[in-house]
């Protein structure tokens, strides 16, 4: 199986946050953000595997700042690690105040997916070609997270 560059699988989704996305405090509901983060990460994993990818773990989901109605929110997903059938994506969420242009990172998560065959069985995924020191460092950090996940499996 051929190796692929991280850039080949990157996904960026954007969505304007509307009143129906808000919680009772007037901020965007965390579940809405989590769903969109999972969609971005899942599309990144699917693009890499060229097969359906299902979520198996959400790791280190962090809410740094609230997102507000009217913010244009961008969900950027990239692969950080691949195993035989699994893939870890990093999803970074950035909210932009559309009238001022002020941007801030509001969320970050590492989400793990497994690629599936048409029959629903795990299938091998392409290796990653690491091109930069930053990509190699993200890989090393992801390997440690993967080891921790495997060590703490139920």
Task: Look at residue 121 in the predicted model and tell me its pLDDT.
Answer: 97
**What are the tens digits of pLDDT across the range 65-84?**
999 999 999 999 999 999 99
- Is the model's pLDDT at 151 over the cut of 90? no
Structural domain total, the chain: 1
What does the buried/exposed string (b/e) look like for 5-44 if buried means 16 or more CB atoms within 10 Å of the residue's CB?
ebeebbbebebebeeebbeeeebbbeebbbebbbbbbbbb
Cα separation, 127 vs 100, in Å, equals 41
CATH code for position 100: 3.10.129.10
Task: Look at residue 152 in the predicted model and tell me its pLDDT.
Answer: 81
Full-model pTM: 0.93
Range of the domain at 119: 4-151
Q: What share of the chain is helix, strand, coil (3-state, %, to 5)?
A: 30, 40, 30
Confidence tier at 103 by pLDDT (50, 70, 90) = very high
Task: Look at residue 116 in the predicted model and tell me its pLDDT.
Answer: 98
Radius of gyration of the chain (CA): 16
**What are the tens digits of pLDDT across the range 39-48?**
999 999 999 9
Task: Look at residue 20 in the predicted model and tell me its pLDDT.
Answer: 96
Task: Look at residue 97 in the predicted model and tell me its pLDDT.
Answer: 97
Confidence tier at 129 by pLDDT (50, 70, 90) = very high
* Least confident piece of the model among 94-103, 111-120, 139-148: 139-148
Cα separation, 36 vs 20, in Å, equals 14
Task: Look at residue 81 in the predicted model and tell me its pLDDT.
Answer: 97
Average pLDDT value for the chain: 95
More confident: 153 or 51: 51
Nearest to 30 by CA among 38, 22, 39: 22
- Is the model's pLDDT at 137 over the cut of 80? yes
Average pLDDT over residues 111-131: 97
Cα separation, 89 vs 112, in Å, equals 6
Cα separation, 112 vs 146, in Å, equals 9
């Amino acid at each position: 199986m051929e190796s692929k560059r991280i850039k080949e699988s990157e996904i960026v989704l954007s969505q304007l946050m509307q009143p129906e996305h808000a919680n009772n405090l007037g901020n965007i509901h965390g579940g809405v953000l989590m769903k969109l983060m999972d969609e971005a990460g899942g599309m990144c994993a699917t693009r890499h595997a060229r097969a359906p990818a299902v979520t198996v773990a959400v790791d280190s989901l962090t809410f740094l700042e609230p997102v507000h109605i009217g913010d244009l929110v961008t969900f950027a997903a990239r692969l950080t690690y691949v195993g035989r059938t699994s893939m870890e994506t990093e999803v970074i969420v950035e909210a932009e105040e559309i009238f001022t242009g002020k941007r801030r990172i509001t969320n970050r998560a590492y989400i793990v997916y497994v690629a599936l065959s048409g029959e629903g069985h795990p299938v091998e995924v392409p290796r990653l070609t690491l091109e930069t020191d930053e990509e190699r460092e993200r890989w090393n950090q992801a390997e440690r997270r993967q080891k921790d996940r495997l060590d703490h499996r139920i």
